[in-house]
Structure 1
Amino acid sequence: MDSPTRQGKKPYLAVVLIQAIYAGMFLLSKVAFDLGMNTFVFVFYRQAAATILLAPLAYYFEWENAPPLSVMTFFKIFMLSLFGITACLDLYGIALIYTSATLAAATANCLPVITFFLALSFRMESLELGAVTGMAKLAGVGVCLGGAATLAFYKGPHFSLWSHHHHLHHDHQTYQSHVSSGRAWIKGCFLMLSSNTLWALWLVLQGKVMKSYESKLRLTTLQCFLSSVQSFIIAIPFARDPHEWRLGWNIRLLSVAYCGIVVTGVTYYLQTWVIEKRGPVFLAMSTPLSLVITLFFSAVVLHEIITLGSFAGWRTVQCSVGEEQRAEISC
C-alpha cells in the first residue's frame, strides 16, 4: 500500500509526465506541418489512432461496471469533444503553421489564468484574498503571466547551442519561407490563444461531466471517437486531394502515432485522473514545464535561437509553479 506522502506526490509526477509529452507534441507536429502535412487530416488521424488504442482497453476494464449513458450526458460529451478537442486541435494546427513550437508552448502559459477564472465562474475554485493560500494562487497566476509575457515580447541577446546542421533542421528551415513575420505571426498568436481558451474550457467542463459519468477510461475513449468523426467531417472540404491523406514511413507517420497514441491516448486519461484528484487549475498551472522542455529541444533539434528572454521567462514561470505548489500543499 502506498504511503500518504507517495500518494501526494503522484499528481505532481503525473503533470510532469503530461507536460513532457506535450513538449514532444509541440516539436513533432510543428515539423510535420512545416513539411506540408494537412493540419485537419493530422487531427483526424491522431484522434482515430487514440480511439483504436483506447477502445479495447475501455471494453476490457470498464465494460461491466460502466455507468449508464443518458441522452443528455452523451450530448454533453459530444459538445465537449467538439469544442474542447476537435476545434481546439484544428485551431492549434493552423496557428502552429504561422508561429513556432516555442511560442505554442509559451502561449500555453495562458492556460492557468484562463482556467482559473473559468473555474471561478463555474464555482469549482474559490479565491480567498485574505488567506495565505488565496494570495499564493493569485501570485502564481501573476508570475506565470509575467513569464509568458517575457518569453513572448522580450528577446535580448541570443545564441545557438550548436553550430553544425542536422538533416531535420535543414528540412525544417526549408519550409519556413511561407511564414511571414507580421500579420501571419499576429494571426497565429490569436489562433493559439483561441485554442488555449477552448482547452481551458475543456479542462473545467471535464470535471463537471465526470460527476455524471464517472467511467474515466470510457469517457476518454468516447471523446476520442466522437472527435475523430467530427474532425473527419471537417477535414473533407479542406483535403480533397487523396495524396494529402497518405502516410508514409516518415515524420508524418511518427507525429501522428506519437500524438495519437501517446498524447491523446495517454495524456487525456492522465489529465482526467489529475482533474479528479486535484482540480483543473492544478493541472493548468503545470503548463510552464512543457515550455522549459520545448525551449531546450527546439534549440537542439530544430536549431531555434535561444534568447536571454527565454531564460528569463523560464526562470519566471518556474517560480510560478513553485507558488502554486506551495498553495496546494497548504490547502
Structure 2
Amino acid sequence: MSSDAGKKAYVVAMVIQVIYTGMYVMSKAALDGGMNSFVFIFYRQAAATLLLLPLAILLERKNAPPMSLWLFTKIFMYALLGNTVSMNLHNLSLKYTSATVASATSNSIPVITFLFAVLLHLEAIKLRASSGMAKLAGVALCVAGVLVIALYAGPPLSPLNHHRAFAGHAHAAGAATNKQGQWMKGTFLMLLANVTWSLWIVLQARLLKEYPNKLLLTALQCMLSTAQSLALAAAVTGAAGAGGKEGAWRLRMDVGLVAVAYSGFVVTGVSFYLQAWCIERRGPVFLAMSNPLGLLLTVFCSSFFLGEVVHLGSVLGGALLVAGLYSVLWGKSKEQPPQPSLPSPAPTASSPVTCTVKQGCDDEVKFEEKRNKLDSQV
C-alpha cells in the first residue's frame, strides 16, 4: 500500500468517528428536547430506506438471488433483532444516560461479538497462549468498564461551554440522569443494545453467505425495520393517550428534524460507503482501533455543545472499555499471521470490528472468502 493510500485511510477513519460523534450528540439533544425515542427510530429507518432502497434496486436488482419464504422470514427476524430492538434500546438508554456513555460503551461491541463467536464455535480461545489470556483480559476489562460507568459516578468535570448550542435541553434531562437508579438502568439498557447488535453481527455474517447482495440485503432490512418501528412507536404513543400521540409524531424545524435527517442520510449513507472503503483497504481491525478517538470527540462535543456534565466514573469506565478493546484486538492479531496479498491481520467472519453501523461489519465476510480462496491455492 502506498503512503498516500495509508494516510487517506487514517483520514477516512477519523471522518467516520466524527460522523458518529455527531450522531450521539444530536440524538441526545433531540431526545432531551422531548422527541419520542421510538418515533425517532421510525423516522430514522424511513429516511435510511428512502436512501438505500432505490440504490439497491438500481445496482443489485438484476443479480439478486431468489427469495424464499424461509429466507424472507430470517431477514425479517434479523431486522427485528439488529435494527428495531437494538436501535430502540440504544435510544431509550440514551435518554437516561449521556452521549459520552453511548460512545464509551460502543467499544464493548467488538468484545461482545467475539464472545458470541466463541459460543457459536466460530472462534476459539487458547487459554495457555498469550493471545488467549489477552482476550480473556479484554473481556474482564470491558465488564469492569460497564460496571464502573453504572455504579460509580464520581466527581463531575466542568463543561467546556456553559452557553450551549442546543440551549434548554441538557439541564432538563440532567436532573433525571443524576438519579443513580435511572443512570444504572440506562447503562445496562445500553449494554443490552450492544449485546443484541453483536449477536446480529455474527448472524449477519452467516446470512451474507446465503444472500450475498449486501446493499439489497441492508435496504431490505431497513425497510422491514421501518414497518416494525412504526408498529412499535404507534403502540407506545397510543398508550400515552391521544394528545401525547399527536404531539409525538409531529416533526418540527428543530434539532429533532436535523438529528433524524443526519442519522438516516449521513450515518447510514455516507458512513456506509466510508466504512466499506476503509475496511476493504485496511481491514476491520484497523477501523475498530479508531473507536477510542470517537470517545474523545464525544466527550468534548457533548460538553461543548450540550453543556453535558461528564463524571469521572464515565471517563474511567470508558478507559477500561478501550483497554479491553485493544486487549482483544492484540490477542486476535497474535493468532492470525499476516497474508502476503491481504491486509494484516486477515480477519475471520467473527473478527472484532467497529460495529456502530451494521454495513461496515458486513464487509468482513468478503475478507473471509478471499482468505479461503488464498488457502485453497496454497
TM range, normalised to the smaller chain? 0.7 to 0.9
Aligned mates of 1:279, 1:124 — CA distance in 2: 19
Query: Which residue is 1:196 aligned to?
Result: 194
Aligned mates of 1:266, 1:288 — CA distance in 2: 20
1:186 aligns with 2:187: no
Counterparts of 1:310-321 in structure 2 under 5 Å?
310-321=314-325
Assess, with a 3 A threshold, how the Cα gap between structure 1 residues 3 and 64 changes in structure 2: closer, same or farther. Answer: farther
How far did 1:297 drift? 1.4
Question: What secondary structure sits across from 1:33 in the alignment?
Answer: helix
Aligned mates of 1:55, 1:113 — CA distance in 2: 31
1:247 aligns with 2:251: yes
Q: 2:84 aligns with which of 86, 89, 110?
A: 86
Quick check: 2:135–2:328 contact (8 Å CA) kept in 1? yes
Question: What secondary structure sits across from 1:168 in the alignment?
Answer: coil
- Residue range with higher mean Cα deviation, 31-40 or 69-78: 69-78
Aligned mates of 1:222, 1:275 — CA distance in 2: 23
Counterparts of 1:129-144 in structure 2 under 5 Å?
129-144=127-142
Assess, with a 3 A threshold, how the Cα gap between structure 1 residues 229 and 282 changes in structure 2: closer, same or farther. Answer: farther
Counterparts of 1:1-331 in structure 2 under 5 Å?
17-162=15-160, 164-179=162-177, 181-240=179-238, 241-267=245-271, 287-330=291-334, 331=336
Quick check: 1:286–1:321 contact (8 Å CA) kept in 2? no
Q: Size of the alignment, in residue pairs?
A: 329
Aligned mates of 1:13, 1:74 — CA distance in 2: 38
Cα deviation digits, residues 229-261 of structure 1 (max 9, x gap):
111111112235333222222101100011111
Aligned mates of 1:292, 1:49 — CA distance in 2: 28
Aligned mates of 1:30, 1:119 — CA distance in 2: 32
- Residue range with higher mean Cα deviation, 161-170 or 276-285: 276-285
Aligned mates of 1:127, 1:222 — CA distance in 2: 35
Aligned mates of 1:190, 1:147 — CA distance in 2: 12
Deviating above 6 A after TM superposition, structure 1's stretches of 4 or more consecutive aligned residues are 12-15, 269-286
Greater relative contact order (CA < 8 Å, ≥ 6 in sequence):
1
Quick check: 1:207–1:276 contact (8 Å CA) kept in 2? no
CA RMSD of aligned residues (A): 3.4
- Residue range with higher mean Cα deviation, 45-54 or 177-186: 177-186
> Can you give the 5+ residue segments of structure 2 that lack an aligned partner in the other structure?
239-244, 337-378
Assess, with a 3 A threshold, how the Cα gap between structure 1 residues 281 and 130 changes in structure 2: closer, same or farther. Answer: farther
Aligned mates of 2:45, 2:214 — CA distance in 1: 17
- Residue range with higher mean Cα deviation, 297-306 or 153-162: 153-162
Question: What secondary structure sits across from 1:85 in the alignment?
Answer: helix
Equivalent position amino acid for 2:306 in 1: L
Aligned mates of 1:275, 1:119 — CA distance in 2: 20
Cα deviation digits, residues 72-121 of structure 1 (max 9, x gap):
22211110001111011122222222222222233334423422211111
Equivalent position amino acid for 1:77 in 2: I
Aligned mates of 1:141, 1:42 — CA distance in 2: 32
Quick check: 1:91–1:191 contact (8 Å CA) kept in 2? yes
- Residue range with higher mean Cα deviation, 99-108 or 171-180: 171-180
Aligned mates of 1:317, 1:220 — CA distance in 2: 29
Aligned mates of 1:177, 1:161 — CA distance in 2: 16
Cα deviation digits, residues 260-307 of structure 1 (max 9, x gap):
112234446767888999998987776544333222212211222234
How far did 1:167 drift? 4.6
Q: TM-score if structure 1 supplies the norm length?
A: 0.83
Question: What secondary structure sits across from 1:239 in the alignment?
Answer: helix
Question: What secondary structure sits across from 2:205 in the alignment?
Answer: helix
- Residue range with higher mean Cα deviation, 114-123 or 168-177: 168-177
- Percent sequence identity is 46
- Residue range with higher mean Cα deviation, 100-109 or 316-325: 316-325
Quick check: 2:28–2:94 contact (8 Å CA) kept in 1? yes
Quick check: 1:216–1:272 contact (8 Å CA) kept in 2? no
Aligned mates of 1:118, 1:216 — CA distance in 2: 22
Question: What secondary structure sits across from 1:247 in the alignment?
Answer: coil
- Residue range with higher mean Cα deviation, 289-298 or 302-311: 302-311
> Can you give the 5+ residue segments of structure 1 that lack an aligned partner in the other structure?
none
- Residue range with higher mean Cα deviation, 130-139 or 253-262: 130-139
Equivalent position amino acid for 2:309 in 1: I
How far did 1:56 drift? 2.0
- Residue range with higher mean Cα deviation, 250-259 or 272-281: 272-281
Quick check: 1:46–1:264 contact (8 Å CA) kept in 2? no
